[in-house]
Chains A and B, each alone.
Chain A
Amino acid sequence: MLTDLGHLAVIFAFVACLYAALVSLLGAQRNDDRLVQSGRLAAFITFPLVLLGCLGLWYALLTHDFGVNYVANVSSLATPVFFRITALWGAQEGSILFWCLIMSAFVAAAMARDWEAAGDKPLLPYVTATMALVLGFFLFLELFLANAFVRSEFPPQDGRGLNPLLRHPGMIIHPPMLYAGYTGLLVPFAFCIASLATRRSDDLWLRSSRRWTLVGWAFLTAGLLLGARWAHDVLGWGGYWGWDPSENKPLITWLIATPFLHSAMIQEKRGMFKNWNVFLVMLTFASMFFGTAFIRSGLLTSVHAFAASDIGPVFMAALVIILLICAALWISRLDVLRSERQLDSAFSREGIFLVQNVLFLSTAFTVFIGTIFPILSEAISGTKITVGPPFFDQTTGPQLAALVLLMGVAPLLAWGKASYAAVGRQMLAPVGFALLVMVALFLSGSRQPVPLLLFGLCAYTLAQTLMEYVRGVRARMLSLNERLPVALIRLAQKNQRRYGGYLVHLGVVLLAIGVIGKGFYGYDTITTPAVKLNDSFTVGNYTFTYRGIRPVPCEFNDCQTVQAMLLVSSASDGRVLDAIFPYRDHYPLQQHTATIPAISGSFNEEVYVILAGWDNNGATASFQVYINPLINWIWVGGIVMLLGFLVSFWKVPERAPAFAPVMRPAGAAAK
């Protein structure tokens, strides 16, 4: 009953979207504020309606209503309450509904803001229409192509249970994060469309949507990191990133949204790159749409691709229509998007941002081509070529390294035209530090040239970024007589965007250190021959003693778990460090085997052990051992990146009024 009510609410939400789009556009055309407000309200109520839909489905999941097909597919009597709640996004139909929920939350939040005070009321009808149409499209998918509310005539006694791979905290938070990231980036897109539709030439759309863009970007970043953590903990392939299509898709969007965040600054500060920003925000949106279409249509096989379905063609048709509308709108407004000034010099903040933007895009293109090549090759030659990690590592690696370098140079360059002497002077100390680090690493035995160079690069950028803080803090301490902590806090407060941004840069460098450490110094092996009971084997600095295998109760009683026991001791002095229990789950119902690693070692050197196999009830067993140096810096870097986001985003009361950027007359921003 409640479930059917939820279904009805989703239908109403779809109708509300259509109404909102229609009435808003009509209101804009007739200049009738009542219609615009009506559309705004209609867009707003999609959130409670979709929420009601989700509550309906949650009710069915919690009450084991296996008459609902979706419930029978993603849960069983044995599924605990927590996973029955998260099962809402455990498969295609439910996850589209959940996607709609998050998107409608963003729509409602955008509608609820004080447009009058923000001074961007003229954009309202077009923002409403754009968002309502996009949300309406996803609701259309939910209702007509992947309906989670469909009931079967013969309900089964028990359900199939949640996909075993999805039973991990990382996998539970990861999809909501990614969805929030994508839908957050819908906001700047909608503002851009509205700006074009109203023939504006200023940066109002950028300033109005800036904080939304940041939120979208942060969610996307968090989603990517959690996905990586999940792959590391559950997939048992020893790493954190497998260049799987489902990982590449959000990465491509991230690689386009990040340069957008940077180039938006140029338009705000200098009135330049207007066309470029329109292009980037449209590309961000298109990449999100295209990626979702690809993963959800089952065109690509991936770790967690959704089952093949017929939503692919609908998605593609919608994408083509969206691109055509965008292109038409953009071309018809080229005359108003002229740059307010010219590039004075390539050696300037603008110049280096352009290089950075281009590098980001070529990296995104690289990931894109590698991801869709299987489909391209199949279409052209009939063979589906698989593109593995070696391709991505070799092609994106150099481009990402160049971006790390740019991160250490760009903050030094002034807007307009930078002086070589000033930049050179400021580079001296960090370059010296980098050389010192490289010499120290060389002396400690790291002789491979490439990682040595890359670590040097990271050291340089790290030092340079820290110097930005040092300079600012020192200035405050000298001129305002502030103590160090006060100076640091005030400095960040006075320019949150800037110092938050630098903190994100620091996070990226730390993350890069982890990537380089794992990539160049990581290694793995398999025990050969298999280890006999109570025998030992040594990998790197660690000696492992095999103490047998045993069956253990499976978490939800739907699998057979076999756990191995190993003692880890230091290879040099024999001291026992740890006992680890890698295990293997076999799910007969889903015909799925999962190898769950055991993790040990130190912060700087992770030991990752997988139970690879055994004979004669465990008389002998084999283990896959990965030594992952520095991998933990990836997680630390990720957390620092998100802290940086918080610093740039957090509203300090001192800087109020909320949601009301100081208005400048159109076009006067940078004059």
Chain B
Amino acid sequence: MMTSAIRACIGLLLVTWLIAGWAQAQVPAPDEPTYRIAKQLNCPTCAGRNLADCPTETCAQWKAEIKAQLDAGKSAEEVLAYFQDRFGPTVLQEPPKSGITAPLWAAPVGAAVVFLAIAGLVMWRTAQRGAPSPASDGTDAHDPFVAALEREVRAGE
């Protein structure tokens, strides 16, 4: 009685195991050349991830497409160009530095230059206007204790 119950349990377990195994019998993974190219492409279904890191079905099809083209003798550049022609520049992980995405690359450089220039101008102007005060001794005037300590350190050096 007992043994048959255990046997039934084991049987049931085996069946679930097999079903689970069957459902997951195959998950194709790309080979290294495909993986390298997939790293440079965006995945259509995993937002914000590259194709290589995305485990979805659609991505598996894209990876298969890359592999097929590589097997047909195309170079990595040709495969990337194919995807760009088909889906536009949005398919690339790194937006091109020309065309519609040129302003994107120019903006940070422009901002840094303009911001720094404004800061420089402000400093230059105020420095021109204000009467220079004597160079301080490098101490923090608002913390007399620390200031005293630092003076002592300097004296000791």
Contact across chains for B126 and A390 when beta carbons are under 8 A apart: no
Quick one: CB contact mask for B117-152 with A, threshold 8 Å, 1 for yes? 011101110110110111111111111011001101
0/1 string, B11-50, CB within 8 A of A gives 1: 0000001001101111111111101000000100001111
Complex interface: stretch among B1-9, B72-80, B93-101: B93-101
* Contact partner, A244, options B28, B32, B48, Cβ 8 Å: B48
Residue B116 at the chain A interface, CB threshold 8 Å:
yes
- From residue B84, how far is it (CB to closest CB) to chain A in Å? 12
Contact A361 B115 (CB under 8 A): yes
Contact B23 A560 (CB under 8 A): yes
Asked if residues B149 and A479 are in contact (CB atoms below 8 Å), the reply is yes
Cross-chain contact A472 with B138 (CB below 8 angstroms) = no
The segment from A45-53, A66-74, A175-183, A409-417 found at the interface with B is A409-417
With a cutoff of 8 Å between Cβ atoms, the chain B residues found around residue A302 in the complex are 47-48
Q: Which residues of A contact B135 (CB under 8 A)?
A: 414, 416-419
Given known contacts A478-B156, A615-B26, is B130 in contact with A344 (CB within 8 Å)? yes
Query: Would you give the shortest CB distance from A413 to chain B, in whole angstroms?
Result: 8
Convert A452-485 into 0s and 1s, putting 1 for each residue whose CB lies closer than 8 angstroms to a CB of B.
Answer: 0000000000000000000110111011000000
Q: List the A side residues contacting B146 at CB < 8 Å.
A: 472, 494-495, 498
A355 touches B116 (CB 8 A): yes
User: B130 is contacted by which of A301, A343, A389, A422 (Cβ under 8 Å)?
Assistant: A343
Contacts of A529 on B, CB cut-off 8 Å? 31
Determine whether the beta carbon of B111 is less than 8 Å from that of A494: no
**A660 in the interface (beta carbon within 8 A):** no
B132 CB → nearest A CB, Å: 6
Decide if B111 touches A366 in the complex (CB within 8 Å).
Answer: yes
In contact, B32 and A528 (Cβ under 8 angstroms): yes
Q: Which residue of B lies closest to A245 (CB)?
A: B48
User: Complex formed: what's the CA distance from A560 to B19 in Å?
Assistant: 10
Interface set, chain A 613-628, CB cutoff 8 A to B = 613-617, 621-622, 624
Query: Among residues 298 to 344 in chain A, which have CB atoms less than 8 Å away from a CB atom of chain B?
Result: 301-303, 305, 341-344
Tell me if A383 counts as interface (CB < 8 A to partner B): yes
Q: Across the interface, which residues of A come within 8 angstroms of B138, CB to CB?
A: 412-414, 418-419, 422-423
Cα of A479 to Cα of B148 in the assembled complex, Å: 10
Tally of A interface residues using CB under 8 Å? 89
A640, chain B: closest CB distance, angstroms: 22
Pick from B47, B100, B108, B145: contact of A369, CB under 8 Å = B108
User: CB within 8 Å of B: which of A259-282?
Assistant: 269
Is the Cβ of B20 less than 8 Å from the Cβ of A560? yes
Contact of A303 among B24, B48, B126 (CB under 8 A): B48
State A419–B135 Cα separation when bound (angstroms): 6
Contact A362 B105 (CB under 8 A): no
User: Given A345-B132, A383-B90, are A528 and B53 neighbors across the interface (CB < 8 Å)?
Assistant: no
Q: With A and B bound together, what is the CA distance between A383 and B100 in angstroms?
A: 10
B104 within 8 A of A: yes
- Smallest beta-carbon distance A472→chain B, Å: 6
Q: How far is the CA of A478 from the CA of B150 in the complex (A)?
A: 11
Q: Are A385 and B107 in contact (CB under 8 A)?
A: no
Set of chain B residues within 8 Å of A621, measured between Cβ atoms: 29
Which one of A192-200, A234-242, A570-578 is at the interface? A234-242
| B35 touching A471, Cβ below 8 Å | no
Residues A242 and B30 in contact, CB atoms below 8 Å apart: no
Residues of A within 8 Å of B47, CB to CB, are 244, 301-303, 305
Which A residues are CB-close (under 8 A) to B120? 346
In the bound complex, do residue A476 and residue B149 qualify as a contact, i.e. CB atoms below 8 Å apart?
Answer: yes
Q: Chain B residues near A494 (CB, 8 Å)?
A: 143, 145-146
Say if the beta carbon of A155 comes within 8 Å of chain B. no
| Per-position binary interface string of chain A over residues 107-127, scored 1 when its CB falls under 8 Å from any chain B CB and 0 otherwise | 000000000000000000000
Using CB atoms, name the residue of chain A closest to B30.
A526
**A388 and B136 within 8 A (CB):** no
> Is B29 in contact with A343, judged by CB distance below 8 angstroms?
no
Residues from chain A with a CB closer than 8 A to the CB of B143 are: 494-495, 498
Cα–Cα, bound, A373→B89 (Å): 13
Roughly how many angstroms separate A525 CA and B38 CA in the complex, as a whole number?
12
Asked if residues B112 and A362 are in contact (CB atoms below 8 Å), the reply is yes
Chain A residue, CB-CB nearest to B151 = A475
CB-CB < 8 A to A381: which residues of B? 100
> Per a CB cutoff under 8 Å, which of B31, B104, B150 touches A526?
B31
* Residues in A neighbouring B61, C-beta threshold 8 A: none
CA distance A369 to B110 in the complex (A): 12
Cβ 8 A contact of B95, one of A245, A354, A385: A385
Known A-B contacts A385-B100, A584-B55; the reply to A617 vs B21 at CB < 8 A is yes
B17 near A551 (CB under 8 angstroms)? yes
**Nearest chain B CB to A627's CB is how many angstroms away?**
15
Q: Known interface pairs A366-B111, A391-B95, A495-B143. Does A242 touch B49 (Cβ–Cβ under 8 Å)?
A: yes
Whether A414 pairs with B17 at a CB distance below 8 angstroms is: no
Interface check A384, CB cutoff 8 A: yes
B29 to A526, Cβ gap below 8 A?
yes
Min distance, Cβ A305 to any Cβ of chain B, angstroms: 7
A359 at the interface (CB under 8 A from B): yes
Q: Which residues of A contact B145 (CB under 8 A)?
A: 494-495
Cβ–Cβ < 8 Å partners of B127 in chain A: 343-346
Say whether A15 faces chain B, with CB atoms less than 8 Å apart.
Answer: no
* A residues near B20, Cβ cutoff 8 Å: 551, 560, 562
Point out the residues of chain B lying under 8 angstroms from A26, CB to CB. none
Instruction: Write out the residue numbers on chain B whose beta carbons fall within 8 Å of the beta carbon of A562.
Output: 20, 24
Residues of A contacting B137 in the complex (Cβ-Cβ under 8 angstroms) = 414, 419, 422
* List of A residues within 8 angstroms of B33 by Cβ: 528
The smallest C-beta distance from A286 to any residue of chain B, in angstroms, reads: 17
8 A Cβ contacts from A145-161 to B:
none
Q: Does B92 contact A (CB under 8 A)?
A: yes
* Most chain A CB inside 10 Å of its own CB: which residue of B93, B109, B135, B150: B135
Query: Known interface pairs A385-B89, A616-B25, A617-B21. Does A526 touch B94 (Cβ–Cβ under 8 Å)?
Result: no
**Contact status A242-B115, CB under 8 Å:** no
Which of B91, B111, B130 is A362 in contact with, Cβ under 8 Å? B111
- Distance (Å) between the CB of A537 and the closest chain B CB? 11
Are A417 and B50 closer than 8 Å at their CB atoms? Answer: no
Question: How many whole Å from A480's CB to the nearest CB in chain B?
Answer: 9
| A369 engages B48 (CB within 8 Å) | no
Report which of A475, A614, A617 forms a contact with B150, defined as CB distance below 8 A: A475
A176 vs B146: C-alpha distance in the bound complex, in angstroms? Answer: 38
Asked if A386 CB lies within 8 Å of chain B CBs, one says yes
A386–B40 Cα gap in the complex (Å)?
A: 12
Contacts of A301 in B (CB 8 A): 47-48
Interchain CB contact under 8 A, B141 and A415: yes
A-B contact pairs, 8 of them (CB 8 A): A301-B48, A358-B116, A362-B115, A383-B90, A388-B93, A391-B104, A525-B32, A615-B26
Give 7 A-B pairs besides A343-B127, A390-B93, A593-B55 with Cβ atoms closer than 8 angstroms. A244-B47, A302-B48, A358-B116, A377-B101, A387-B95, A526-B29, A613-B29
A-B residue pairs, 9 tightest by C-beta: A613-B29, A622-B29, A342-B130, A388-B93, A390-B94, A366-B108, A475-B149, A301-B47, A528-B32
